[in-house]
Each structure stands twice: as C-alpha cells, then as structure tokens.
C-alpha cells in the first residue's frame, strides 16, 4: 500500500512538473515582437515566415511578396526592364567619325561653359563662344536622339573663326590658356573636317595616245623627196 501511494505521489509530481514545463514553452505574441524561450522565426524564400518552437510549427505565407524562383544556368534569366527608345546611346565602336567628334565637342563645350561661368564677365564670353544648340541634340538627359543631324556648318565656321582669333591674340591669354577652350578649339576643327564630304577621288590618268607614225628617211633624203620615185 505504501508503495502504491509512493508511486501515485511520484506520478503526480512528474505531471505537475511537466505541466509547468509545458506552460513555460507557450508562445506569447505581443504587439511588435514574439517573445518565448526556444522560439525561432525564419523567413522563407517566398517572403513568408515560419515560427518553430518545441511544441509548435506555424507557417505564414508571404502574400505581399512575389515568389522567388531559381533559374537554371543557360535558361531563362531574371526579368530585365525594356529599354526606352531614344535613351540608348550607341557605343563608341558604332559611332561614325562625325558623331564621335560631335560627342567630344559637346563635352568640351560644357566644360568651357562652366569654366567661363567662374570668371568675372564670363556670361559675355559664354554667349560669344556659344555653339549652336544642334550640336547638343540628344546628348543631354531627357533629350531624344535625332534621326538626322541638322547642324549649320557655316555657323560653326564662324564660331571657329572666333576661337582662332582669340587663340592668336595675347591679350586674351586668360581665356585661350584654359584647357577647355583649347579642347573646344581642337574639336571644332576635327568635327568640321569630319562633316565636310571627302574630296572626290582623283581622275584616272589618261590612256596612252596613239602615236603618229613617223616616216623613215634615208640620209640625204628630205621630207619632200620621200614621195618621189
């Protein structure tokens, strides 16, 4: 009888201890966080969450996230947004000599504009050395690339003459010694050279003309005597 009572008491004590242990493992969900011993929260690849504890395993799908898929090498790749026409600039290898010279000229002109803006009276120089707007067509942000360039070469020749005049006048050394000024001056020459049509190829040399047959004369025989018998 004593052994039975002892066994019953021991079993009751074990159940009580187990009950306390079970209560200690319960998950308490409070605003802003989860707090419980031996609890792990994992983020699944689809954006959901999985909560694991000794006596529970709860999965919450991530409906707000797109499903992330693994792509095999050599097959479909991640989505790439399409390029907007007019914003794609051709690579340097595909540019013609004229277009490459225009890109360099526009970049140098932008630098010169900034350099002149830091000088006293620079606004007047900016206006005097300003290039036509057609030089910058499609090169600045949010500008569509023109299908065909329409640059007034005669107007550029006048601008080049201004640059050459300033470069040859010592009283304007403060302007002509700017690296950006020299770059624009050089790029103007290169762009105009690339814009003018190439000279026509030289005409082939004239073929050999038929030489007139020269009659043979014997010594002491003149031209008038050649027809005599």
Residues 147-198: tens digit of each pLDDT? 556 778 888 899 999 999 999 999 999 999 999 999 999 999 988 888 776 6
What's the whole-number average pLDDT of the chain? 69
Q: Is 219 exposed, middle or buried (0-12, 13-18, 19+ CB in 10 A)?
A: exposed
The values of phi and psi at residue 79, to 5°, are -70, 135
Domain identity same for 171 and 117 = yes
Domain identity same for 186 and 143 = yes
pLDDT over 80 at 122, yes or no: yes
pLDDT in tens, 195-221: 776 666 777 766 555 655 555 555 555
Contacts for 166-175 with beta carbons within 8 Å, 24 or more apart? Answer: 174/119, 175/116, 175/125
Q: How confident is the model at residue 47 (pLDDT cuts 50, 70, 90)?
A: low
pLDDT score recorded for residue 103: 86
Residue 88, domain member (yes or no): no
Q: What is the rounded average pLDDT of the residues 141-147?
A: 55
Domain identity same for 56 and 97 = no
With CA atoms as reference, report the closest residue to 22 among 55, 44, 51, 61. 55
Residue 179, domain member (yes or no): yes
Q: Can you tell me the distance from the alpha carbon of 65 to that of 63, in angstroms, rounded to the nearest whole number?
A: 6
Domain identity same for 99 and 58 = no
Residue 158, domain member (yes or no): yes
Domain identity same for 64 and 99 = no
Cβ atoms of 33 and 9 within 8 Å: the answer is no
Domain identity same for 188 and 102 = yes
Q: What is the rounded average pLDDT of the residues 125-145?
A: 77
Domain identity same for 142 and 61 = no
Residue 165, domain member (yes or no): yes
Residue 214, domain member (yes or no): no
Domain identity same for 99 and 186 = yes
Domain identity same for 100 and 188 = yes
Show the domain range for 53: 28-68
How many domains are contained in the chain? 2
Of 95-104, 108-117, 196-205, 208-217, least confident by mean pLDDT is 208-217
Residue 19, domain member (yes or no): no
pTM: 0.45
Domain identity same for 52 and 106 = no
Domain identity same for 56 and 105 = no
Domain identity same for 101 and 186 = yes
pLDDT over 60 at 132, yes or no: yes
Residue 81, domain member (yes or no): no
Q: Can you tell me the distance from the alpha carbon of 180 to that of 16, in angstroms, rounded to the nearest whole number?
A: 89
């Amino acid at each position: 009888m004593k052994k039975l009572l002892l066994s019953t008491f021991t079993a009751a004590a074990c159940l009580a201890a187990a009950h306390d242990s079970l209560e200690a493992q319960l998950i308490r969900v409070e605003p802003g966080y989860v707090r419980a011993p031996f609890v792990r929260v994992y983020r699944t690849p689809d954006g959901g969450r999985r909560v694991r504890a000794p006596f529970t395993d709860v999965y919450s799908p991530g409906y707000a996230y797109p499903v992330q898929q693994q792509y095999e090498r050599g097959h479909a790749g991640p989505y790439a947004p399409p390029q907007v026409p007019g914003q794609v600039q051709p690579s340097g290898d595909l540019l013609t000599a004229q277009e490459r010279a225009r890109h360099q000229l526009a970049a140098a002109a932008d630098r010169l504009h900034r350099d002149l803006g830091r000088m006293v009276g620079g606004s007047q120089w900016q206006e005097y050395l300003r290039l036509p707007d057609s030089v910058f067509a499609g090169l600045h942000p949010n500008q569509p690339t023109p299908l065909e360039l329409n640059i007034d070469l005669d107007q550029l020749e006048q601008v080049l003459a201004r640059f050459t005049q300033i470069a040859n006048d010592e009283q304007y050394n403060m302007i002509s010694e700017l690296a950006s000024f020299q770059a624009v001056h050089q790029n103007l020459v290169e762009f105009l050279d690339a814009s003018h049509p190439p000279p026509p190829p030289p005409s082939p040399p004239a073929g050999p003309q038929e030489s007139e047959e020269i009659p043979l004369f014997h010594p002491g025989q003149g031209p008038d005597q050649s027809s005599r018998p």
